[in-house]
Amino acid sequence: MNDSLGERRVRKNFNPNANKDVEHIKHVAAAAIDWCEEHKSKDPRLAALAQTAFEEAAMWAVKLVTSG
């Protein structure tokens, strides 16, 4: 099965320590990115901005749960 755009952008399969919090963060962010993709015909620019923001938020949230 092919990964969705959101799953690719948050690198869903990269979780070397199998951290459940990381898995959850990436799942939620990927779903939000995919939702924006499904609705981008309304305003492609706003969809792209939102997708980037969700991707960045996932990165920071992963850093939060994996920081020492």
Amino acid at 13: N
Extents of the domains making up the chain: 5-66
Q: Distance (Å, rounded) from C-alpha 19 to C-alpha 16?
A: 8
- Going from the first residue of the chain to its last (68 residues), give the mean pLDDT of each consecutive group of 10, the final group possibly shorter: 94 97 98 98 98 98 94
Angle between helices 20-38 and 44-66 (to 10 degrees): 180
Q: pLDDT at position 59, please?
A: 97
- Which helix (H) or strand (E) covers residue 31, if one does? helix 20-38
Cα 59 to its chain centre, rounded Å, is 8
With vertex at residue 30, the alpha carbon angle to CA 5 and CA 16, rounded to the nearest 5 degrees, is 100
Q: pLDDT at position 65, please?
A: 97
